[in-house]
Amino acid sequence: MPQRNDDVTRRRLLRDGLWGACLAGIGGVAGFAAHKGQKVDWLWQIDPYKCIACGNCATHCVLEESAVKCTHVYGICGYCEICFGFFDPEPLAINEGAENQMCPTGAIERKFVEEPYYEYSISKSLCNGCGKCVKGCNAFGNGSLFLQVQHDRCVNCNQCAIAAACPSQAFRRVPADQPYLLKSVDHV
Amino acid sequence: MTQRQGKMDSGVIITVLICTALLVAIGAVLLVDATGRRGSGLSRVYELDAVRLASFDPNLILYHEVGPPIATGFERSRALALGANGRFYIAGDKAVHVLRDKGTLEQVIRLASEPHCVAVSAEGRLYVGLRDHVAVFDEAGQRIVSWEPLGERSFLSSIVVARDDVFVADAGHAVVLRYDKTGQLIRRIGEKDPDRDIPGFIVPSPYFDLAVAPDGLLRVVNPGRTRIEAYTFRGDLEFFWGQNSIRIEGFCGCCNPANFAMLPDGRYVTAEKGLIRVKIYDADGVFEGVVAGPDELVVGGAARVFLSVEDAEASGFDVAVDPDGRIFVLDTIENTVRLFVEREKG
């Protein structure tokens, strides 16, 4: 009676190992493709009409540099010479000197358009999302400055740490294909 | 029998570990600010201290409020005018309410759209500024005529009736329009004209007020320059006054005063939005005193101005003055009319 040879030969080990590696590779590629193709359905965003610019966005984000930044809708802006989002409430002079600026990080840039109009833009790399300019613009201007979660930075935590710490419940989930909640000119 | 020394029961070790874990968990729950109620932790340099900015010497308040506020009956009140026999004409929602001095609703004039401004002539005719045109009503509230619409961009924000003329401030086009009483456009006033040294109006938000002063000149707010300019009826700029400052002497923000009225002696009553304050300036534009500040005018005082842009927009209180120099303030947040009279001196 012939005996079964169950000993592991070198050839058999290599063959089975190769098959295993192939299967693992195919599984890995399929998994990676499935992961890449998976649509992120919902993202965190701030409702600008509920936000009170409390400052928590600057410090409660899990990222070292908050994913929340100031946004500017130019359609609402008055292009004011004396912009209370840009200038300190008691400026020494109406010019771009750092001592006259409201933003502690110098994130708002002011550009002359034509007398007496100026355009204001936000340097995302300098803005820390504190919302000080938003307060000034809401109170004294047209409210064209407001805070938004920047999705090139946000890691979309399951529970957003800033949303949990938002005293005005301004954070909400938005569809990924409409990731920003911008103010509209006709709202007020 | 020998005892094993220096060894601990494993049960004790597990108990200690569990207790430590529980303590850490409780500490984490207590110490971590999961609700954000403890604030951002940012330094003061990141704060806009509204209360400090709004503060001023209380001795500057020259007026006090008299009687209870009168409800306008609107959800959104826009403008106030005083007529003969102590009537108030209040524009809001889609109507004009005519009230007696104690607040009794005497007449409701319904409109197809929201009115932004209202004025009454000496003959009792009512001129209502809608978004793009003026509608004229007789004393009984019957529409007489609607004037030619001024285009999609127009936003009529103020209207005043002189003896033979009607002046309309169009915030959308940043121009004052002089009409005769039949609605014929006579002149455009205040458009930028370097040859006549007219700088042009800057109107960043929909507040752009005007009045005819006792000296016979037109006064128009140039809100973006935070000043009041005086024009002849022919459109020549005579003089201007006003400075931008958050201090009580100045006009704060990007665009103020939101509204104003003239006292019979030529002094000004101004109303600022954002940081809501009603003040008095003499005929030369020199600050005299305060009628009411944020603490007197708004629930929550100075902190109120920073809640939202809707609040700021609604904070453009209107003012009107009667022949006795009493000041009526249209509170557009609470939708009431409030009366302020001068404090007795001494």
Model confidence over B141-171: pLDDT tens digits?
Answer: 999 999 999 999 999 999 999 999 999 999 9
ipTM of the complex model = 0.76
Tell me the residue ranges of DSSP E strands in chain A.
Answer: 42-46, 68-72, 108-114, 117-122, 145-149, 171-175
Residue A17 has what pLDDT?
A: 82
Quote the pTM value.
0.82
Q: Is the pLDDT of residue B307 over 90?
A: no
Residue B26 has what pLDDT?
A: 86
Q: Indicate whether B22 belongs to any domain.
A: no
Domain extent for B139: 56-342
Contact A139 B275 (CB under 8 A): yes
Count of structural domains, chain B: 1
Could you tell me if B254 and A83 are in contact, meaning their C-beta atoms sit under 8 angstroms apart? yes
The C-alpha of B46 sits at a distance from chain A's nearest C-alpha, in angstroms, of 6
For chain B, the 3-state helix, strand and coil shares in percent, each to the nearest 5, are 15, 35, 45
Alpha helices by DSSP H, listed for chain B, are 10-31, 50-54, 294-297, 309-314
The chain-wide mean pLDDT, for chain B, equals 91
Q: What string of pLDDT tens digits covers the 188 residues of chain A?
A: 555 556 677 788 788 888 888 888 888 787 766 666 566 589 999 999 899 899 999 999 999 999 999 999 998 898 998 898 999 988 999 899 999 999 999 999 999 999 889 999 999 999 999 999 999 888 888 889 999 999 999 999 999 999 999 999 999 999 999 999 998 766 44
Q: Indicate whether B214 belongs to any domain.
A: yes
**Closest residue in B to A145 (Cα–Cα):** B309
A61 close to B (CB below 8 A): no
Q: Kindly report the CATH number assigned to the domain that includes residue B85.
A: 2.120.10.30
Q: Indicate whether B190 belongs to any domain.
A: yes
Percent of chain B with pLDDT over 90: 73
For B4, the token pair is 């094993």
Mean pLDDT of B184-211: 95
Torsion of CA B91, B305, A73, A147, to 10 degrees: -140
Q: Indicate whether B179 belongs to any domain.
A: yes
Q: What is the pLDDT of residues B75-116, one digit of tens each?
A: 999 999 999 778 999 999 999 999 987 889 999 999 999 999
Mean pLDDT of B38-50: 85
Contact B274 A139 (CB under 8 A): yes
CA B308, CA A50: separation in Å to the nearest integer?
8
Residue B203 has what pLDDT?
A: 93
The C-alpha of A46 sits at a distance from chain B's nearest C-alpha, in angstroms, of 14
Q: Indicate whether B266 belongs to any domain.
A: yes
Q: What is the pLDDT of residues B241-250, one digit of tens each?
A: 999 998 999 9
